[in-house]
Structure 1
């Protein structure tokens, strides 16, 4: 089995924590630095330090702390109940005490500090045969410093740009702000170093290779266009993206190819392709065998934050409150907007585009046999013909080819003609008569949304109807059954940058750099055709004249929904404003303040720790 970087991380964390904790109390004789010189001045200790720079990725991807700030409060998602309300509705809960922001701030600066420490010790480290060999390792630190500075500048704006290690220099108690342009200058400089010196291939799964550096640099150049010099940075983004697109064999990358049974997009998310995926450029690599991760098995909980109400409404029809396949139904956080379900994705039963079906679960199966009673039929306005119908149990022991952990998992038996289907949440509307005769709970857009608006229904206005507003399709990326370890944990690798996004970066950059629609449409159609079966790929082709920024914004949603980037996409494309949100997702637009909500509040824990908090300010919060 291919080794994972976590297997090395587990060994070095204890050693590194000793050095880091010692460094918090530097005295005049600087004794701890002498100790660190011995540790990090040798190749083995230095490489352990580099390994530690990866750790904090695990506190972002697959965790609620990073999902809410990057997906909520956009055109795509609304909050369920009070969960994530600060981000989803720009409510008062979005303040300096928010725990999610504290995690992002703390993990980013912690990683940057470790990277700065590695960069400092690289000047004298022993044990490398050549400078090139050393730089290949050091480039990982430069990449991760750039990645974390990118997180900081997009979430918080121009804050503190740190290039020195507090382990070496001591703590800066009166920091000053740097401009966003200064952040980007350092990010780009770091990534150029990484592109030059990283190896083309790595032996450890999850370790950064050259393809990750080019992918992040293309993304950074494109995002930099929001600060001005649009054509300059768009051209750089295009050239960098094309380096990856035009050299697949060099970087061992390729889009998955459709056939007549499965689209390339479906193959991308297949569990069988997860651990050696040709489209993944930069991943959070997970040890799914022994749990040697910074939080052991506590990984990949993304799926449970997007679940509908399978514990009460769904349970009435046979679903379970907890599920190996779906997750924990009591951890619900986000539900899709009407705009996402019916305007971004085509609201038809059998579209050529498979991306809705591969992005969302909209069929939920019974965990136990359930017979439809007259009371259920009356409450849910069902036809008398369904009374007495038994929705069949679908649980069975999964074969290793289906689930690595051989769990009892839904969708194993009684699947013919959907006889085990308990809850059905399509994004297309079914006429009322047909729906009444379907022996399952059905919630389509007409049940969820107010007619003629992009708002979910207020159940109080429909006292005679069942309350179905929390029965919706569930985002299911990062949920392949093969790696469902428990009803909480999913142990697949999570892509942070993937090749599909690079095609969209190239297309957007081509539009920004001279409105080259002919070049842009080639990249767009390549992606769109791979999203269909080969027999229907011609239905996916669009014309060059259709390609503009608004089209690409929707295309990014179709391709990248739920992948932790919608908020910064809206920010870059000038759509993170009240007028746009009022139109696409009104609940997000209600409290939105133009200008203010382009950045987040700075955590109080940081402001309380510095001596110049008043002068430093808090981004208008």
Structure 2
């Protein structure tokens, strides 16, 4: 990432990233004219570099997680970001995260439009060099417009920079099809002109990103219900297979399983993070100098999905203060649905599929830097066996990675010392809280020398999460659940709030699933779909259990692939678009998969409200309305 942002921005288009102008206008604070700045190769490259800025506010941050992952079949929260998780009255034109999303995406579009406008005027480039560089802007404009049209529908389609057009107080709506026409055109340009390899500049888009994104866009377009939808599905298949069939040429690949570790586990191994061969399009984080758009304030994803380790967990020895592995528990709230935990993932102790283990923390260890003795009041409060009074849960936190030169300080993490089972009860002696996705008999749980909360404790019979009023222990159990662990590798921990690893926006595993779905949508080719999805499934097991992951051709239909996408991509900010493409943003579907969502309105909630700041600033707000809100 530092290679993208290490050049001085000769002329900044914005005085601040969070603009509020109705026409997405921007202020040029420099005394150097754009004609001078952007016709110089260095100035032009700085402009293209700045097109990447928006990525850093939507991945690993709540401003992207809310719109892209919440309000689906996978996650729920009774309080956090309820506009997205529950579709309640706070989903309106004043919703702050949507304002950031709208402004950020349109800001990127304007940067990209400016780069595209000035590309032909840059002096000193050959035609090939110019196209190679401006192709990055075409790609990022496509990415931004894809998010705009999926979130807000047919709104304003910008193809020229505001520095040229000036204020547009009477913007016009474009259709979703018009958005997709431009997105596809931009990505085709990127496929033709981006290099196969950007060299040492990690995070800069290359051909693999363009083909992967083109496949994703073609497939998503099928949701428009156009008469030629099967043709777009076939084009999605062709773009996806271009990558899948030529992996070595594009420098990509899936990680292979071996006898001890699955390929999926290797995918999330921190040692592979900065050179991950599966990542096609990523948010590259500079972990050495923190020369990122918001410096070291990165990788907060894990803290939003964290169970309560500072209140309920603290009574059993956990604490957010001294442990960096799980994350900081001050901003928690997103928790998995029963559908995700017990139906999509197999609720057994030792599944062949390692994706549940790599997606969730279920074991939380004593992180107090000292042993923790269980007191009578805690045993009584949690209805545990009286024999556990006085039991000692061993400290497991210690300073690690002291020899890593890129760490500004030391990293404290639980689960690094005293990981033993001296009492031979089958559980490590430092275990404080255990949240499996399978059910354990109540009598057995009562005797466990730690807090164990399983699905029978987490959920009501109707699938809703327990609350303080629906369950005797609901006050405590509603805050105990498996916590998402993707992007939590110890290797890239900076502190309990900041994680410095790269974040994948699109990876090869998803491209296989895109291709499988496209094979079905284009020609109902079950054989091809099964072939593709079984590659993904078998790499999720160690080699000795790979056969257990093979799915029969007859069982591979669209519904199965939607489930498979959840198992593969949970928490990776893809799910809302998946449900939208499948037509699953409905009351009936949520009743089956996420019954805590009770206020979903099918007449408006499949698109987001247009931010009020935009409506207040234009002269023709009635032509836009509020998208039904």
Specify if TM > 0.5: yes
Question: Aligned equivalents of 1:618 and 1:184: distance in 2?
Answer: 22
- Residue 614 of structure 1 is matched in structure 2 by 622
Contact (CA 8 Å) 2:11, 2:37: kept in 1 or not? no
Question: Which of these residues, 109, 120, 124, is aligned with residue 123 of structure 1?
Answer: 120
- Residue 415 of structure 2 is matched in structure 1 by 411
Question: Which of these residues, 102, 106, 110, is aligned with residue 109 of structure 1?
Answer: 106
- Residue 391 of structure 2 is matched in structure 1 by 389
CA 402–414 in structure 1, closer or farther in 2 if over 3 Å, else same: farther
CA 454–31 in structure 1, closer or farther in 2 if over 3 Å, else same: closer
- Residue 498 of structure 2 is matched in structure 1 by 489
CA 373–593 in structure 1, closer or farther in 2 if over 3 Å, else same: same
Deviation at 1:595, TM superposition (A): 3.1
Question: Which of these residues, 156, 161, 177, is aligned with residue 157 of structure 2?
Answer: 161
Confirm or deny that 1:184 pairs with 2:180: yes
Q: Give a deviation string over 1:232-285, Cα, whole Å, max 9, x none.
A: 011000000000000011100010001111110010011000000000000000
Confirm or deny that 1:441 pairs with 2:441: no
TM (norm. structure 2) is 0.94
Question: Aligned equivalents of 1:92 and 1:395: distance in 2?
Answer: 43
Counterparts of 1:172-571 in structure 2 under 5 Å?
172-203=168-199, 204-227=201-224, 228=226, 229-322=228-321, 323-368=323-368, 369-399=371-401, 405=407, 406-417=410-421, 418-451=428-461, 453-463=462-472, 467-571=476-580
CA 441–135 in structure 1, closer or farther in 2 if over 3 Å, else same: same
Question: Aligned equivalents of 1:88 and 1:462: distance in 2?
Answer: 22
Counterpart secondary structure, 1:61: coil
Question: Aligned equivalents of 1:135 and 1:595: distance in 2?
Answer: 43
Question: Aligned equivalents of 1:519 and 1:161: distance in 2?
Answer: 36
Deviation at 1:433, TM superposition (A): 1.4
Q: Give a deviation string over 1:529-583, Cα, whole Å, max 9, x none.
A: 0000111111100100000111001100000000011001000011111110111
Confirm or deny that 1:90 pairs with 2:87: yes
Question: Aligned equivalents of 2:218 and 2:623: distance in 1?
Answer: 31
TM (norm. structure 1) is 0.95
CA 506–596 in structure 1, closer or farther in 2 if over 3 Å, else same: same
Counterpart secondary structure, 2:605: helix
Contact (CA 8 Å) 2:187, 2:210: kept in 1 or not? yes
Question: Aligned equivalents of 1:458 and 1:394: distance in 2?
Answer: 31
Question: Aligned equivalents of 1:401 and 1:558: distance in 2?
Answer: 36
Question: Aligned equivalents of 2:15 and 2:384: distance in 1?
Answer: 66
Q: Give a deviation string over 1:126-145, Cα, whole Å, max 9, x none.
A: 111x2011100010000000
More helix by share: 1
- Residue 424 of structure 2 is matched in structure 1 by none
Contact (CA 8 Å) 1:508, 1:520: kept in 2 or not? yes
- More deviation, 358-367/34-43: 34-43
Deviation at 1:7, TM superposition (A): 4.4
Deviation at 1:83, TM superposition (A): 1.2
Counterpart secondary structure, 1:467: helix
Deviation at 1:482, TM superposition (A): 0.9
Q: Give a deviation string over 1:458-512, Cα, whole Å, max 9, x none.
A: 3323336763111000011111111111111111000000000000000000111
CA 459–437 in structure 1, closer or farther in 2 if over 3 Å, else same: same
CA 252–517 in structure 1, closer or farther in 2 if over 3 Å, else same: same
Q: Give a deviation string over 1:362-386, Cα, whole Å, max 9, x none.
A: 1111112211122222221212332
Counterpart secondary structure, 1:364: strand
Contact (CA 8 Å) 1:259, 1:533: kept in 2 or not? yes
CA 226–31 in structure 1, closer or farther in 2 if over 3 Å, else same: closer
Contact (CA 8 Å) 2:216, 2:514: kept in 1 or not? yes
Unaligned runs of 5+ in 2: 422-427
Q: Give a deviation string over 1:147-183, Cα, whole Å, max 9, x none.
A: 0000000000000000010012212111010000000
Question: Aligned equivalents of 1:546 and 1:221: distance in 2?
Answer: 25
Question: Aligned equivalents of 2:336 and 2:257: distance in 1?
Answer: 27
Deviation at 1:193, TM superposition (A): 0.2
Contact (CA 8 Å) 2:11, 2:34: kept in 1 or not? no
Counterpart secondary structure, 2:295: coil
Contact (CA 8 Å) 2:10, 2:46: kept in 1 or not? no
Question: Aligned equivalents of 1:542 and 1:95: distance in 2?
Answer: 43
Question: Aligned equivalents of 1:459 and 1:605: distance in 2?
Answer: 38
Deviation at 1:121, TM superposition (A): 0.6
Deviation at 1:20, TM superposition (A): 9.1
Question: Aligned equivalents of 2:106 and 2:301: distance in 1?
Answer: 24
CA 619–412 in structure 1, closer or farther in 2 if over 3 Å, else same: same
Q: Give a deviation string over 1:271-307, Cα, whole Å, max 9, x none.
A: 0000000000000000001110111111111100001
Contact (CA 8 Å) 1:12, 1:52: kept in 2 or not? no
Counterpart secondary structure, 2:523: coil
Deviation at 1:32, TM superposition (A): 8.4
Counterpart secondary structure, 2:281: strand
Question: Aligned equivalents of 1:196 and 1:585: distance in 2?
Answer: 43
CA 465–141 in structure 1, closer or farther in 2 if over 3 Å, else same: closer
Question: Aligned equivalents of 1:257 and 1:83: distance in 2?
Answer: 38
Question: Aligned equivalents of 2:90 and 2:33: distance in 1?
Answer: 44
Q: How many residues align?
A: 607
- More deviation, 610-619/291-300: 610-619
Confirm or deny that 1:9 pairs with 2:5: yes
Question: Which of these residues, 63, 75, 78, is aligned with residue 77 of structure 1?
Answer: 75
Counterpart secondary structure, 1:282: strand
Q: CA RMSD in A?
A: 1.9
Contact (CA 8 Å) 2:3, 2:202: kept in 1 or not? no
CA 144–101 in structure 1, closer or farther in 2 if over 3 Å, else same: same
Contact (CA 8 Å) 1:449, 1:456: kept in 2 or not? yes
Q: Which 4+ stretches in 1 moved above 6 angstroms? A: 18-21, 30-34
Question: Aligned equivalents of 1:233 and 1:137: distance in 2?
Answer: 28
Contact (CA 8 Å) 1:304, 1:329: kept in 2 or not? yes
